[in-house]
Structure 1
Amino acid sequence: MSNLDRKASLSVCGGRGFVVAEPVRELLTPRRVRLGESTEVRRLLPNLGRRMVGAWAFVDHYGPDDIADEPGMQVPPHPHMGLQTVSWLHDGEVLHRDSLGSLQRIGPRELGLMTSGRAISHSEESPKPHARYLHGAQLWVALPDAHRHVEPRFEHHPGLPVVTAPGLTATVILGALDGAASPGTTYTPIVGADIALGEGAEARLPLDPNFEYAVLAMSGAAEVDGVPVLPGSMLYLGCGRSELPLRASSDAALMLLGGEPFEEEIVMWWNFIGRSQEDISRAREDWMEGVRFGDVNGYDGGRLLAPELPPGSLKPRGRTR
């Protein structure tokens, strides 16, 4: 999914200077962003004061939206560089097209994973006809410098491993949780899991104390380490945890996001992740000139134009804690 903000700002993200080394309970509120005519998202990352969680660099939560009489998601062809996109649905479907020639319907709790590497472009839309409701999350994972120029690829994994406990079912989206590993390709130590809790459930989820974590509330009423989380909010948890207490007062759904703190500092603007403003400027120029990112065939409409770069310059800073 694209960042459609027409006044996109440059952001310095990553580096251990942004990491909280001990357990915390930092509740993040979203910023509302329009995507096209009928989809509004709640943007949790990047957030004021919190730019990344491990390699997770971008988190949008959308829905549940009643799109029975609406076109639903309509995101025209747009570019990506230096990141992976993770498409995750609870309701509805998304039709993915990309410049590699991929054409794939992604359904609920199926992993759509696109590695942009050096350059790719794609579109996303609700199929015609489509289900009444659309509810999901779109996330980006920053690629480390050693892998940010890899060849682009797209993966679709309809069957993912599941971890169960009384009142809890956790689907492993990326990385590994409690011995279960996702088939999705990763380039840094990371975890993403979709957690379903039954009404009245209480559970303790095993964690890696070397990872930093956050929990995105998707639906229902739940408490994470004693903190109530409402749908569309995200609780940042810091590092140093070996387990996470969860409790649900109704059926609830959460997303656990975590990973080893991202050592490198990155520059993120619009739909690009680089290491310098020069990286970003060249990517924008290439997209506007129609080179490097390829063409998306089959989408009924034109491609997105890049916004203007903000004035001034920005370079990654040091990584000291």
Structure 2
Amino acid sequence: FGLSEKDLRNIKRLRFMAMGTSQNAAFIGQQMLAELARIPGETLNASEFLYSPELREDDALTVVVSQSGETADTLRAMREVQRRGGKVLGICNVQGSTLTREADHLILTHCGPEIGVASTKAFFGQVTALYLLAIHLGRANGTLDADEGRKLIDDLRRLRVHLDAAFRPEVREQIHAAAEYLATVKSCLFLGRSLQHPVALEGALKLKEISYIHAEGYPAGEMKHGPIALIDKDFPVIALATPGRTYDKMLSNIQEVRARDGKVVVIAAIGDQVAKSSSDFMIEVPEVPELLAPLITIVPLQLLSYHVALLLERDIDQPRNLAKSVTVE
């Protein structure tokens, strides 16, 4: 890791940079750091950083996230930060990669080789690493006390048991039913709020990557500002409506879709009869602490994309036109 307690206390601003799935993980990490360490941050697409104005870097830390550690745009952005005098913390899965060698500080996710082109377990590992980083920074700068830190770690340890629920036979049936329907459509919309917005982005990315169905992820509050015009009986919405501060507003979004004859696939807590009665298809997930909910809700979305692609007889491990590591700009 390499950052001392003094270094951590001096961080006043965070910048997250990544591409693709790693950027969606970074969006979640940004919110986690703000919540637990009270440090403001921004998440940038690494390819766009080169065109940004030069700012002072002495009180900032740039967190660069990459599964492979070889993404060309990400590496170029990292080097530009360092040229400007900034420090870089890399979060990476591949020991010995360029990112692990050139970053000033490093967190390895230790997820093991990821064979399929579409990233799955790497996303899970990146979000977990960012959660732990948020706890560590929160403890260092005093926004979390020892008891709060231990509770957050215990919540993460208990998550393993909850993940088993995502693979119950009845949940597999729910996923397969939704997949059979989605395999018949040409476009769809993924909606989420707060921490679930990046999960919606990632769910849409997975579906388009391996099934070739056009899918877009949106913050649910943005639906009325354009996407709602697309909704009809042939344009479904996948909505993330798990317990927490955004639950009621997500139910309101679902009702708006249903009022326009749109079909709804909802990801909701086990036994949530309100969400079930408001949707055409429901995929159940266990209720967990809100900060960890993205690690639960992403699993059925990954499985949903897999089953849609399977029904359409796509090459799931090697989708057309994609490479595991994008090494050219």
> Shorter-chain TM-score category?
under 0.3
Q: Which has the higher strand share?
A: 1
Q: Higher RCO, 1 or 2 (CA under 8 Å, sep at least 6)? A: 1
TM-score when scaled to structure 2?
A: 0.25
Q: Which has the higher helix share?
A: 2
Task: Point out the structure with max Rg over C-alpha.
Answer: 2
TM-score when scaled to structure 1?
A: 0.26
